[in-house]
Amino acid sequence: MTTSQIYVPKRPPRRTAHDIRGVRYQVYEWGDSDRPLLVLLHGWGDCGASFQFFVDELAGDWFVVAPDWRGFGETRLRSHAYWFPDYVADLDVLLSVYQPDRPVRLLGHSMGANVVGLYAGTFPERVRGFVNVEGFGLTDSDPASAPDTYRRWIERARTMPAYATYAAYEDLAERIRRRSPGLSMERAMFVARHWAEEGEAGSIVLRADPAHKLPNAVQYRRAEAEACWDRVTAPVLLVVGENTDFLAAVSDWLDPDESRHPFHGAPTAVIQGAGHMVHLERPDALARAAEAFLTGRSPPVV
């Protein structure tokens, strides 16, 4: 496949780096720094560059910033474990670099949105608006499972798991398309080129620390996440893909019942024709909904 068959950005990014809490963070930037700031936070296994399609669909003139989280993409790290408190603290430092004196507009996807949810409740004065794309927490864990959880984490780490490798970028692109069937091959190739790199003997390997594959030693405590969400003061837009696996989990609050609704009845936009990877599959609709919300207009029907 030639480079002409790979998606060509309409708004090419700049790449920069910042030292954040002992990690050299790689950050993508689009637009002029004197424009309104919008920070994009990717999900597990993803990278900041995959927001390119979304950025290309923005109608407004923004200064967009999208980091690679520690241990993903070009933010290189080899660790034994990854903890959510580190992501939250990393975000705090990142925002202090780009906009230390004013609250910030944030869009997070999946893991990135869960990080923002914790941060927005911990530092509510630092968040001006939050577009939460499929980051609604996990099912609560059972405290009685803690011993088994610790044991599983320690035993799995004795022989660090590995990611699958691919013979060519096209193979990874086809895997991405199986997960997101509506994605064109040229866009899937763009994502593959940013998710992976050429390794030994020409194999294609993911740009991610294998330690991300370890089970978390600390069980998920949903009550703690909800306590953070309860303190969020910024406007929040919840976004779900029409075809997402998450839709069943949130179906009880998509309509009138707000008793189980996260973020106290925040509006919800359902993106037609999208699964979990909304920013890849329907970046046009996500951009319309996000901009309408973040600029004070009601999100359109998408």
Identify the structural domains of the chain with CATH numbers, from first to last: 10-139+220-302 (3.40.50.1820)
Is the pTM higher than 0.85? yes
Among all chains, which residue has been given the structure tokens 């609050």? Answer: 253
Between the alpha carbon of residue 68 and those of residues 48, 154, 194, 253, the distances in Å are 5, 27, 11, 32
**Which segments within the chain are labelled E, that is strand?**
14-20, 23-30, 37-41, 63-67, 104-109, 127-133, 196-198, 204-206, 236-241, 268-271
Tokens representing residue 70 in the block:
């520690």
Q: Do the beta carbons of residue 53 and residue 290 sit within 8 Å?
A: no
Per-residue pLDDT of the chain (302 residues; tens, 9 = 90+): 444 499 999 999 999 999 999 999 999 999 999 999 999 999 999 999 999 999 999 999 999 999 999 999 999 988 888 999 999 999 999 999 999 999 999 999 999 999 999 999 999 999 999 999 999 988 889 999 999 999 999 999 999 888 989 999 999 999 999 999 889 999 999 999 999 999 888 899 999 999 999 999 999 999 999 999 999 999 999 999 998 876 665 665 555 455 566 787 789 899 999 999 999 999 999 999 999 999 987 655 45
Specify whether the CB–CB gap between 153 and 216 falls below 8 A.
yes
